[in-house]
A and B are shown apart, each in its own frame.
Chain A
Amino acid sequence: MTETLVCGSCGASVPSSHRFCGQCGSPMQGTQPRTAMQTAFFGAIQSDARARLVLIRGEGLDGVTFQLTGRHVAGRSTGSILFPDDGYLSPRHAEFFFEDERLYVQDASSLNGVFVRLRAPALLADGEVFLAGEELLRVQFGGLAGPAITGEDGHFFASPMPAVQSRITQVLEGGRPGLTVVAHAGSLVIGRERADLEFPNDRFISGRHCRVDFSPAGATVTDLGSRNGTFVRIRERQALADGDHIFLGRQLLRVELSA
């Protein structure tokens, strides 16, 4: 194995000859070689591990691996799975635990939530969010009637009311709304090009990334074979399978279950 270091600041893999991390610029001085670190880690808890969380960085570079043995809290300042530099993580963000021989993840009332990559189409309720590429999108079904006009004010001269009120709104950093597109035809495609919601500058979104179909039951999100997947925010807790991907804040983790 070639000598590779792991940046102590951001977890990126750095060739041992480099003095600074190429990802975050932190000095590499005093950093333990990755091989040594992994060996130590495995040696301590390998026997008990039933699952692992592998941190995925950038273009698929694997980073730190967390061994899951029992109940683990992930967050910015609390728990054993810590990402102190990720401001999008709540201090106590999520919990991983085993129940009936299955691994679960549960949102610990975090601000930004826990997102799990879709394996099959998922039904979303009004106001729920999902991730495609770097875009955080919220589905909405109604609420366009506006406040009631009282008294003698008369009618309000506004844009034509769409026949369908179902729509998708992009949520920008800071929680502000961005692009909103009404699903005039009942469904919307999200992607980089030839889509209803186009994000030409998103490097992580596929040409046609996912589709949302609105029905009286809700909004069904279907991944269209995107490279990076579509992630849906979990409501409370969700069982995890081998190969699942999870977003916590900006951290993308892959679940590996021991057979």
Chain B
Amino acid sequence: MIICPNCSRENEDHYKFCLGCGTEISRSDALPDVPPVATALPQVVPQIVPKAMPEAVPQAVPKAMPEAMPQQAVPEAVAVPARATPLPVATALPAATPAPPPALLPAASTPPPSLLPASASDAAPPTMDEDSLAGDEPMPDDLFSHGSMDAPPRSAPPERVESDLAFEGTVDAESLKEAPPVEPTRVARVVRVDDTRGEPPTERVPEPFASADSTSVSVDPAFDELHASMVSAVREAAGRRCRACGNAVPAGFKFCGVCGSRFELATPSVAPSARVRLTLVHPDGSEGESFELPAGECTVGRAQGLPLFVDDPFLAPRHATFHNGPGRVTVRDEGSLNGVFIRLRAEVELVHRDLFRVGQQLLRFEDLRHVRPVVPAATDGTLAFGSPTRGAWGRLTSLVAVDTPAQAWTLAGPQTLIGRERGEIRFPGDGFVSGSHCVISTRQGRYFLADQGSTNGTYLRLKGEQAITDDDLLLLGQQLFRVTSSPAD
């Protein structure tokens, strides 16, 4: 389950975009626990590998690959397990090492004959092993680049990752035995390997090693259990902590059980010396060009600043200034006509004359106490007559020109819902407004605006200088930009 950092909706693990709001779901958010698990375990491996390999390698390799040069194969074979050391699976080996090799050897030697005729498939089993090895490397990015690019035939890459983490190596072992490698990706890889000539023997080696792993894992279920609990403990510690009280929030919970605060995935402000990019978001939600913000200040405007800013008549020549400073990235409006709008991610406080966008509407919030009378004040103490306010505290206007409201609504009661079909304020003709879009509420004499998980979002016009963080969406002129930040190398 992935909690959308934008709207907190729960999404299936393999979703790339949030069902609730369309926000792209960051994979690193989804699996914050992968690195700690792998790094916690590697020490055991070096002891096992040398023992397992010397026996397995010389026997398996010559049989499987008669043409291959044994001299090359052995040293390379030693190198392969070394590369595999971070494998969590390998930790299960100690108990199993003495027994498996003999049992495995036949298994290891059976496939090659059938495979040999097809020259391309010679190296196929090794690549599969390499796959499983690479899949176990503790980089979440790796996992997902594998899932999305290198291994499309796999039905559910993330699940496979999960099973690796849980040490259920048997799955891989069985796929080795029962399903000889015929997947297109592997063929592609074999071609690549063939091009390098002389590598095949090397690639052959890991197979018995991997099989040994899987056998040994099934031998010791208690060990599995222990590690499974470690994994879940690490998972809970990483990321899912209440921002208000710091207690761990179990996966799937939307609120902290200790203090009741709404749980949000950490959206850390841009890290020191971060690389910050602005990516154009097209109206259909796809992403377009992307440019990195230079360090320091960068003023953008109509056909100015970054190449992203085209000749948009809704941009001022000098529209806004980004400041990419240490530990903090900010944006400020340079007094432009249309301003800079930011998509709401949480409830914000509203003050008199704040502007926000809902669908195609430009709305202005007005604190009724500060609304200017349309009747000139009398000098003789006469009160201006009018409709009873009946507890109204605010007014919302739809601006059709600068400072020119057309439609207007009074705001009364604890909260007012704005939507296309539901709510006290409706825009039935605006297809960009969600059924229920956002809510204006009042508590203790203050006013607040919150998006209701709308499809297109609620955008608030910035005042002064505002910090921006990863995954913020900014509206400048007619274009929408996504802010992405990543730590500098």
Interface residues of A (CB under 8 A from B): 76, 87-91, 110-113, 134-138, 143-147, 149, 152-162, 165, 167, 169-182, 199, 201-202, 249-250
Contact string, B354-396, partner A, CB cutoff 8 A, digits 1/0?
Answer: 0000001111000010011111111011111111111010010
A178–B336 Cα gap in the complex (Å)?
29
Query: Which residues of chain A are near B378, meaning CB under 8 Å?
Result: 90, 111
Q: Which residues of chain B from 285 to 329 have a CB within 8 Å of any chain A CB?
A: 302, 312-317
Known contacts A157-B362, A180-B406, A182-B406; is A87 also within 8 Å of B383 by CB?
Answer: yes
Q: Which residues of chain B from 403 to 437 have a CB within 8 Å of any chain A CB?
A: 403-410
- CB closest chain-B residue, reference A88: B385
Query: Which residues of chain B are near A138, meaning CB under 8 Å?
Result: 374
The 6 sampled A-B contact pairs (Cβ below 8 Å) are A87-B381, A112-B384, A158-B362, A169-B408, A178-B395, A249-B385
- In the bound complex, do residue B405 and residue A111 qualify as a contact, i.e. CB atoms below 8 Å apart? no
Query: Which residues of chain B are near A179, meaning CB under 8 Å?
Result: 408-410
- In the bound complex, do residue A91 and residue B380 qualify as a contact, i.e. CB atoms below 8 Å apart? yes
Query: Which residues of chain B are near A161, meaning CB under 8 Å?
Result: 400-401, 406
A156–B404 Cα gap in the complex (Å)?
11
A191–B162 Cα gap in the complex (Å)?
62
- In the bound complex, do residue B374 and residue A155 qualify as a contact, i.e. CB atoms below 8 Å apart? no
B202 at the interface (CB under 8 A from A): no
**Min C-beta distance of A179 to chain B, whole Å:** 5
- In the bound complex, do residue A153 and residue B400 qualify as a contact, i.e. CB atoms below 8 Å apart? no
- In the bound complex, do residue A158 and residue B400 qualify as a contact, i.e. CB atoms below 8 Å apart? yes
- In the bound complex, do residue A146 and residue B404 qualify as a contact, i.e. CB atoms below 8 Å apart? yes
- In the bound complex, do residue A152 and residue B317 qualify as a contact, i.e. CB atoms below 8 Å apart? yes
Contact string, B332-368, partner A, CB cutoff 8 A, digits 1/0?
Answer: 0000111000000000000000000000111100001
Additional 5 contacts, C-beta under 8 A, given A145-B404, A155-B337: A111-B385, A144-B404, A174-B384, A176-B371, A180-B397
B149 at the interface (CB under 8 A from A): no
- In the bound complex, do residue A154 and residue B384 qualify as a contact, i.e. CB atoms below 8 Å apart? no
A91–B383 Cα gap in the complex (Å)?
11
Interface size on B, residues (CB 8 A): 52
- In the bound complex, do residue B313 and residue A154 qualify as a contact, i.e. CB atoms below 8 Å apart? yes
CB within 8 A of B407: which of A87, A154, A172, A182? A182
**Min C-beta distance of B320 to chain A, whole Å:** 14
Query: Which residues of chain B are near A147, meaning CB under 8 Å?
Result: 401-404
Query: Which residues of chain A are near B386, meaning CB under 8 Å?
Result: 136, 170-176, 178
- In the bound complex, do residue B385 and residue A154 qualify as a contact, i.e. CB atoms below 8 Å apart? no
- In the bound complex, do residue B374 and residue A146 qualify as a contact, i.e. CB atoms below 8 Å apart? no
B442 at the interface (CB under 8 A from A): no
Query: Which residues of chain A are near B148, meaning CB under 8 Å?
Result: none
Query: Which residues of chain A are near B376, meaning CB under 8 Å?
Result: 175
CB within 8 A of B374: which of A111, A153, A171? A171
- In the bound complex, do residue A154 and residue B387 qualify as a contact, i.e. CB atoms below 8 Å apart? no
- CB closest chain-B residue, reference A115: B385
Query: Which residues of chain A are near B398, meaning CB under 8 Å?
Result: 159
- In the bound complex, do residue A173 and residue B382 qualify as a contact, i.e. CB atoms below 8 Å apart? no
**Min C-beta distance of B404 to chain A, whole Å:** 4
Query: Which residues of chain B are near A134, meaning CB under 8 Å?
Result: 387-388
- In the bound complex, do residue A111 and residue B382 qualify as a contact, i.e. CB atoms below 8 Å apart? yes
A87–B314 Cα gap in the complex (Å)?
48
B175 at the interface (CB under 8 A from A): no
Query: Which residues of chain A are near B375, meaning CB under 8 Å?
Result: 111, 171, 175
Known contacts A146-B403, A173-B387, A180-B405; is A154 also within 8 Å of B337 by CB?
Answer: yes
Query: Which residues of chain B are near A165, meaning CB under 8 Å?
Result: 406
- In the bound complex, do residue B408 and residue A154 qualify as a contact, i.e. CB atoms below 8 Å apart? no
- In the bound complex, do residue B315 and residue A167 qualify as a contact, i.e. CB atoms below 8 Å apart? no
- In the bound complex, do residue B401 and residue A170 qualify as a contact, i.e. CB atoms below 8 Å apart? no
Q: Which residues of chain B from 445 to 479 have a CB within 8 Å of any chain A CB?
A: 477-478
A215–B375 Cα gap in the complex (Å)?
25
Query: Which residues of chain A are near B397, meaning CB under 8 Å?
Result: 180
Query: Which residues of chain A are near B383, meaning CB under 8 Å?
Result: 87-88, 173-174
- In the bound complex, do residue B400 and residue A160 qualify as a contact, i.e. CB atoms below 8 Å apart? yes
- In the bound complex, do residue A172 and residue B387 qualify as a contact, i.e. CB atoms below 8 Å apart? yes
**Min C-beta distance of B8 to chain A, whole Å:** 29
**Min C-beta distance of B312 to chain A, whole Å:** 8
**Min C-beta distance of A227 to chain B, whole Å:** 18
Query: Which residues of chain A are near B478, meaning CB under 8 Å?
Result: 157
Q: Which 8 A-B pairs have the closest CB atoms?
A: A146-B401, A175-B375, A175-B373, A175-B384, A180-B408, A146-B404, A112-B385, A87-B383
- In the bound complex, do residue B400 and residue A176 qualify as a contact, i.e. CB atoms below 8 Å apart? no
**Min C-beta distance of A192 to chain B, whole Å:** 13
A154–B384 Cα gap in the complex (Å)?
39
Query: Which residues of chain B are near A174, meaning CB under 8 Å?
Result: 373, 383-384, 386
B399 at the interface (CB under 8 A from A): yes
- In the bound complex, do residue A156 and residue B338 qualify as a contact, i.e. CB atoms below 8 Å apart? yes
Interface centre among B317, B336, B401 (most CB of A within 10 A): B401
CB within 8 A of B314: which of A111, A157, A167? A157
**Min C-beta distance of A45 to chain B, whole Å:** 29
A16–B153 Cα gap in the complex (Å)?
95
Known contacts A146-B401, A175-B375, A177-B374; is A91 also within 8 Å of B382 by CB?
Answer: yes
- In the bound complex, do residue B336 and residue A153 qualify as a contact, i.e. CB atoms below 8 Å apart? yes
Known contacts A146-B400, A153-B316; is A160 also within 8 Å of B360 by CB?
Answer: yes
Known contacts A90-B378, A90-B380, A172-B386; is A158 also within 8 Å of B405 by CB?
Answer: no
**Min C-beta distance of B372 to chain A, whole Å:** 7
A111–B389 Cα gap in the complex (Å)?
19
- In the bound complex, do residue B400 and residue A144 qualify as a contact, i.e. CB atoms below 8 Å apart? yes
Query: Which residues of chain A are near B395, meaning CB under 8 Å?
Result: 176-178
- In the bound complex, do residue B401 and residue A176 qualify as a contact, i.e. CB atoms below 8 Å apart? no
CB within 8 A of A173: which of B315, B381, B388? B388
